[in-house]
Amino acid sequence: MSSRFLMLLACSLVAFPAFSQASLEALLDDVEPAVIEWRRDFHANPELSNREFRTASVVADHLRSLGLEVETEVAHTGVIGILRGAHPGPMVALRADMDALPVKERVDLPFKSEVVSLYRGEEVPIMHACGHDTHIAMLMGAAEVLSAMREDLHGSIKFIFQPAEEGPPPGEEGGAELMVKEGVMEDVDVAFGLHINAGTYVGQINYRPRGLMAAVDDFRIVLKGKQAHGSAPWLGIDPIVTAAQVVNNLQTIVSRNMQLTKAAAVVTVGSIHGGVRSNIIPEDLEMLGTIRTFDPEMRETLHKRFREIVGHTAASNGATAEIQLPYSAHYPVTYNDPDLTASMLPTLERIAGAENINLIDAVTGAEDFSYFAREVPGLYVFVGGKPLDLPADQSVSHHTPDFFIDESGMKLGLQAYVNLALDYMEMASRQ
């Protein structure tokens, strides 16, 4: 066991069984420097979806040092740690995602990512451009704190370190969906998850009961035309011109076919690849994109209109279209159980202050925590990572080269993991 864990355990023997909030805060304060250190290590060594080999090894070694039951290679590279409390009670799942993104970092940090990896057959720079490095570190810290309290736990905790939240590589399974398929949630009573947020100030927590984040379906379109010399387009069928029309026509689905007073919807084309020279009309072209919805009926209508528009637009140009929808990612709505949300709201207010708890509108981002929350009641919240001295109108977006997190915000995330688990187990023990 690590020397730090032994110190925490010794502290717990003094403070518990009747542990106080002050004693708990002392444990949290003690582990916070390690959380920051772990985060920096993961940030400097990012790994893409289903390839989180080093990350998983670091996590597994830490969980073993705490005396947890550890299972590795879950859903390819996932790690599960089980902490069994001394008293009977529910199994609480705490989840963190581990994968990075194919983004080149621009922020000049001492632990800046310089890693290059293979993505869809190309060597690309990668970075933790969404904060998953902070999630891993915070959950590792939570495991350390809660392990020091095992003699007083009324129940058990399953620490889920999940790969491939950003979506598995094409042709592979992965993420929360595969974890559920492999039985990770079979003995779980409730699940909690969180996400650091670069647009929310440090010290604040954002939440929403019921639908918090959108369902997502990504898509792939291959437009096939006829190759010709660029000087004689009448001899070919141009998939590039066709793609331009497809992009514009797809936007009419949301503006003309969706009842936006009911729920939001988004169609975005994020990638177009076709052609190799300025004077050659290519034979085919690939388009990739994403669809976001909150309402099942609207999703069905959107998919129907999508296929019609892509197919008819291609045909009007003499081209053909191959459509894969969904392509590799298809997450349901991230749904916060309303009763669980109401029960745990006092916990969030206690650790952050009621004035720092924000009820927000639904977010068109997506999260595969949704698969866990379909199996058991779930609660997912956003924890602030925006520096307090940054003006309100200035913020960096996730999934960009300039993504930045103020590490002081991780303390509240660590508190949230620990206190949500403890308070839920305490409430369950009283029933």
The pLDDT tens digits of the residues spanning 33-86 come to: 999 999 999 999 999 999 999 999 999 999 999 999 999 999 999 999 999 999
CB 132 within 8 A of CB 429: no
Under the banding of pLDDT at 50, 70 and 90, the label for residue 395 is: confident
pLDDT in the model for residue 22: 80
- Is pLDDT at 16 greater than 80 in this prediction? no
pTM: 0.91
The more confident residue out of 190 and 23 is 190
Q: Averaged over 205-210, what is the pLDDT?
A: 98
Q: Assign 48 to helix, strand or coil.
A: coil
In the block, residue with structure tokens 């010399």? 229
Q: Which of 324, 347, 381 is the last residue of a domain?
A: 324
Pairing of strands 154-162, 87-97: parallel
pLDDT in the model for residue 19: 61
User: Beta-carbon neighbour count of residue 262 at 10 Å?
Assistant: 11
pLDDT in the model for residue 329: 82
Q: How far apart are CA 429 and CA 84, in angstroms?
A: 15
263, 196: one domain: no
365, 281: one domain: no
208, 220: one domain: no
pLDDT in the model for residue 431: 81
Average pLDDT, the chain: 95
Q: How far apart are CA 136 and CA 140, in angstroms?
A: 6
84, 198: one domain: yes
Q: How far apart are CA 201 and CA 416, in angstroms?
A: 16
Q: Averaged over 8-31, what is the pLDDT?
A: 66
245, 386: one domain: no
CATH number for the domain that contains residue 285: 3.30.70.360
25, 106: one domain: yes
Q: Which of 324, 343, 363 is the last residue of a domain?
A: 324
Under the banding of pLDDT at 50, 70 and 90, the label for residue 4 is: low
Distances (CA, A) of 364 to 112, 233, 284, 290: 29, 40, 31, 11
Exactly one of 52, 407, 417, 424 is catalytic; which is it?
A: 407
224, 209: one domain: no
| Residue percentage of the chain with pLDDT more than 70 | 96
Kindly give the residue spans of alpha helices, DSSP state H, lying in 16-126.
Answer: 21-44, 53-65
221, 233: one domain: yes
- Is pLDDT at 15 greater than 50 in this prediction? no
The pLDDT tens digits of the residues spanning 269-303 come to: 999 999 999 999 999 999 999 999 999 999 999 99
pLDDT in the model for residue 120: 87
Total of domains in the chain: 2
pLDDT in the model for residue 21: 77
The single-letter code of the amino acid at 122 is: E
| Residue percentage of the chain with pLDDT more than 90 | 92
CA 193 vs. chain centroid, Å, equals: 9
223, 208: one domain: no
Let me know if 119 is a catalytic residue: no
> Which string of b and e fits 134-160 if b means at least 16 CB within 10 Å?
bbbbbbbbbbbbbbbbbebbbbbbbbb
Exactly one of 331, 371, 417, 424 is catalytic; which is it?
A: 331
φ, ψ of residue 116 to 5 degrees: the values are -120, 135
159, 294: one domain: no
The single-letter code of the amino acid at 422 is: L
- Is pLDDT at 237 greater than 90 in this prediction? yes
Nearest residue to 4 (alpha-carbon basis) of 196, 147, 113: 147
Range of the domain at 226: 215-324
Q: Averaged over 164-191, what is the pLDDT?
A: 96
Under the banding of pLDDT at 50, 70 and 90, the label for residue 224 is: very high
User: Beta-carbon neighbour count of residue 277 at 10 Å?
Assistant: 8
Instruction: Tokens for 139, please give them.
Output: 């959950």
Q: How far apart are CA 25 and CA 422, in angstroms?
A: 13
In the block, residue with structure tokens 């039951």? 69
Q: How far apart are CA 176 and CA 165, in angstroms?
A: 7
Q: Averaged over 225-238, what is the pLDDT?
A: 98
CB 123 within 8 A of CB 196: no
**Residue 388: exposed, middle, or buried by beta-carbon count in 10 A (0-12, 13-18, 19+)?**
exposed
CATH number for the domain that contains residue 27: 3.40.630.10
pLDDT in the model for residue 362: 96
Nearest residue to 227 (alpha-carbon basis) of 214, 217, 240, 218: 240
Let me know if 331 is a catalytic residue: yes
pLDDT in the model for residue 402: 98
175, 47: one domain: yes
Q: Averaged over 361-365, what is the pLDDT?
A: 96
Of 9-18, 117-126, 169-178, 386-395, which range is least confident?
A: 9-18
Q: How far apart are CA 271 and CA 283, in angstroms?
A: 18
Under the banding of pLDDT at 50, 70 and 90, the label for residue 199 is: very high
pLDDT in the model for residue 328: 84
Q: Assign 229 to helix, strand or coil.
A: strand
Q: Which of 324, 346, 368 is the last residue of a domain?
A: 324
170, 258: one domain: no
